[in-house]
Structures are given as structure tokens and as C-alpha cells.
Chain A
Amino acid sequence: MTADKPSPLAAALPWLMPLGLVALWQISASAGLLPARVLPAPSAVAEAGLRLVQSGDLQQNLAVSFLRAVAGLLIGGAIGFALGLMNGLSRLGETLLDPTLQMIRNVPHLALIPLVIVWFGIEESARVFLVALGVFFPIYLNTLHGIRNVDPQLVEMGRVYGMTPAALFARVILPGALPSIFVGLRYALGIMWLTLIVAETIAANSGIGHMAMQAREFMQTDVIVLSIVIYALLGKLADSATRLLERAFLSWNPAYAKA
């Protein structure tokens, strides 16, 4: 790679396909090939978006969904990370806890929705609980895996060079496990949106999922499509945020360094 900056053409290349598809969609809708009842034109979706922004509904629902996602991620991610560290560093912890966690992991967490509704009703806590449960496992598993796969030769080196257990953890074990922890975070972000969409669609009175379900009752396909587009954008945003974090924390690794 000789050029420091990609040429404008190269930068535009990844956008060609999605923009082309949207254009095709717009043309077939305008030409009447696509009934608005099945799939409204992109312009109609944009108009619906504008309408909802003006009424303030979109911002409010977006904020509610975003807060639920972040709360669930923080709670589930923190517990998963803590247990992953504990079981990665202690054989006893792993022997005691891991078999149980592996068993629970095999239950699809969305199967718990009826039980969760019984427990929490359709309160905020129900959605946050489901998201937390969903993100817990990828973070737990990848933290555990990352710690277990830290190069034992580096750990020996650290010991020989007199690192205290705390220094060994901070300078050798945690940085060594970090790439794997980020993989877990990426999986967790995917599961976070998925869980939230399902939870909001089934049992909620606010949020993007609820907005879509309400629109279904009034046959507002434009709002339904808008909700889907928003979920796609949020997913992309989460992915880009992880990429930024990876670049910041893993710049030592040629695989993550900027090309």
C-alpha cells in the first residue's frame, strides 16, 4: 500500500452497492411496481422519519431504546467480564461455576421471555434483564478464553523478572486477553440489539420496537421500514465504536493497526 489516503473513487466504492439498491427501490416504487402496502418508497420512509422527528416521537423512542441497550450491556457485560476473569485466573472458580454457566448458555435466552414477563411484567427491568442475559455469555466466554490463552512463556518471563501478581495481571494477562475480549464485545453488541428488538416488539410501551409494532396496527409500513433502518444504523454504529476501541487498544497488533 503506497497511498496514504485512498482516492475518492476507492472511498466511494463500498457505498456503490447500497446506494444502487436504494435507487432501484425508489425507481420501482415510483413506477408503481412496488405497492406501498408491501414496501414504501425510500422517500416515503424518509418523510415518515421527518414527521416523527418533528413530533419528537422518534427521538424519545430512540433514547429509550438506546438507554435500555446500554444498561443491559453494562450490567451483563460487567458480570460476564468479572466471572470470566475470576474463572480464567482460578481453577477452583472454573470448576465450581463453569459447568453450570455452560448449561445455562445452551438455553436460548429469548425462550425466557414468558417467564421474564411473569417475573417483571412489561417493566423496564424485563428488557434490561433480557439484554443483560444475552450479552453476558459472549463476554464471559471470550474473557475466559482470552485469559486461558495468554502465552505461558510471557507469564513465566513476567514472574522471572519479578512482577507482582497485580503487575503480571495488568501488564501481561489482561493485555494478552484483550483481543479475545473485544471479539466477545462484538458478539455481545449483535445480541444486544437482537434481544432488544424482540423484547420491545413483544412487550413494551415505548422504544423503536414498540414504534414498529404500533405502526403495524395502523398499516404504516413506512414507519415499520424506518424502524428497521434505524436498527441497522444502530448496529453499524455499535460495530464502528468497537472498531475504534480496537484501534485504540490493540494498535500494537499488526492485524488491528491502521493500514
Chain B
Amino acid sequence: MVNADIPDRTGGAAISAVGLRKNFAANTVLDNINLDIAPGAFVSIVGKSGCGKSTLLRLLIGLETPSAGTIASPALETGEARIVFQEPRLLPWARVAQNVEVGLGPRAARGDPAALEALTRVGLGARGADWPAQLSGGQRQRVALARALVSKPRLLALDEPLGALDALTRIEMQSLIEQVWRAQGFTALLVTHDVSEAVALGDRVLLIEDRGVALDLAVDLPRPRHRGDAALAAIEGRILDHLFRQPAAGAIPPGEAAETKPLRED
């Protein structure tokens, strides 16, 4: 199925990883990972807590150096990769608009109209003069998203950005992320512990297990996708089956796996 409504994706940056390995002391977290990610793709990375999915993400955008192997992406060479962390990581002593300006990099000018534009895109155009402490958790994460988007990155990494949010805010944020991805055309990498979120947003879902990519599924479904859609549920079921190695009879309802609290991986 080809989605005619998806805009030109030439703005996104491809990533290619060959023979990636990452050791922490004597412990090998990831080994022999080979990946080719198409420009503009939305790739979800799932796996159990501690499987190394966040490490893979951090490797792919150059936050960690691989113990072996290489990563190549035009976005890394030009500094056009951005990340949204699980915590908003806003500067509490800077106003919301100044926090977004941080995303413009060292040459940012105070009062750059791009900051307001990015804030408006995440629905917080009127909150630029507030302190981060005056916002709710979901709003702070939106500001973090605006900060990541303001420089128009070609690669956006999302490291469990919705893990700390309540269920309703999470659904809102998911559609916001999908909407900005469709509008700006960057390559998106989303690490999540929520399999249904991974399937709802990704063109492709990678399951990390035993130091490698255990499953690499294409999710070729039209957008926007509807929660509870049978085709989505089928893909979700396949991933969960693989994770728990149990028959598809629904011994573990998808929702339950999605609601388990994430453990910190770093």
C-alpha cells in the first residue's frame, strides 16, 4: 500500500549502520547490528526493559560511540539530528520561548520568530513567556518537542518521550508527533516500551532482543491509523507473541503489556 498523502520525504536523512557493537565494561549490550533506514521513515524500536533499545537509539544519533562498527548519516555530519528525552529537560531558569531557542543552536538570536512558530505548532504559542514550572508535564514535553523541531532537523530521535505521561496526554502527543513528522518530513526514530504506540506510529518496527534485532516488521497501513484497527492489532499481536513466546490466543492482552511501567535503562 502506498500512501499518496505522505509528502516528499527527501528532507529526512538516511541512516546506515554496519556491524554495530556496544559494550559497557565487560557487558555486551548490542552486537552485530546492521540497519538501513530510509530517508523520512518512521522507525519504532521496542523491546523489554534493559534490552538496549535506548542504547541503540543513542548510538544511531551519535550520543554514544560504538565499541565496533560504523554509523553513517548525512544528519550526523551536518548536526541536523535532534533528540527528545524521556524527561523534558527544560532549563527551569529560562522562559519557555528561550528554552525553544536552545534548539536553534549556538547562533540563536533571542526572540527568533522560529521559536514562536515551533511553539505554535505544538499548541503552546501563547505560553512563550511562562516559566517551565508553570506548565503541566505534558505541556513541558511539548516544549521539548518544539525545541527539537525548531531547527528543522532531518533526523529526530525520541527516547521514550511519552513514558512519563498519563494515558490521555500520551494519545494526544502521539497524534501530535505523527502530525509534525508528516508536515516536516524528518526521519523519526522512536524508542518506546508501548508496543501499540510503536505500531500505531511506525512505518517499521524493530524488536530488540538478545543484543540484536529479533524482529523487523514493516507496518504498511494508511494514516492516520485508528486505535483498535484489526490490522494494527494483528501486527501488535505478532510482536507481543514474539516477546513472550506464547500463543496468539490473547493470554496477554496488548493493553497490559503497554501499561507496564518502564524501567530506566541508563
Contact = CB atoms under 8 A, between A and B. Distances in A.
Q: Tell whether A and B belong to one assembly.
A: yes
Interface of A: 153-154, 156-158, 160-164, 167, 171-172, 175-176, 178, 250-254
B103 interface: yes
A157 B85 contact: yes
Contact of B106 (A157, A162, A176, A253): A162
B178 interface: no
B131 A252 contact: yes
Contacts of A253: 92-93, 133
Given A153-B89, A252-B93, A252-B131, 9 more contacts: A153-B85, A153-B87, A156-B89, A158-B102, A161-B82, A167-B106, A176-B93, A252-B132, A252-B133
A251 B92 CA distance: 10
A156 B64 CA distance: 12
A153 B132 CA distance: 16
B250 interface: no
Contacts of B79: 162
15 contacts: A153-B87, A153-B89, A156-B89, A157-B89, A157-B102, A161-B147, A162-B105, A162-B106, A163-B106, A171-B91, A171-B94, A171-B102, A175-B94, A176-B93, A251-B131
Contacts of B133: 252-254
B85 A175 contact: no
Contacts, number: 45
B83 interface: yes
Closest 6 CB pairs of A and B: A175-B93, A157-B89, A252-B93, A162-B105, A252-B131, A254-B133
Point out which of B93, B103, B105 has the most chain A C-beta atoms below 10 A from its C-beta. B93
Nearest to B95: A252
B248 interface: no
Interface in B87-113: 87, 89, 91-94, 102-103, 105-106
A161 B102 contact: yes
Contacts of A251: 131
Given A171-B94, A252-B92, A161 B105 contact: yes
B1 to A, nearest CB: 36
B18 interface: no
A164 B131 CA distance: 24
A164 B106 contact: yes
Contacts of B92: 252-253
Contacts of A176: 93
A171 B89 CA distance: 13
B68 interface: no
A154 B79 CA distance: 19
Nearest to B131: A252
Contacts of B83: 160
B72 to A, nearest CB: 19
Contact of B91 (A154, A160, A250, A254): A154
Nearest to B89: A157
A192 B152 CA distance: 53
Nearest to A167: B106
A161 B102 CA distance: 7
A179 to B, nearest CB: 10
Contacts of B82: 161
Nearest to A160: B83
A162 B76 CA distance: 12
Nearest to B134: A254
Contacts of A163: 102, 106
Point out which of A158, A161, A175, A178 has the most chain B C-beta atoms below 10 A from its C-beta. A161
A77 B46 CA distance: 52
B63 interface: yes
B103 A175 contact: no
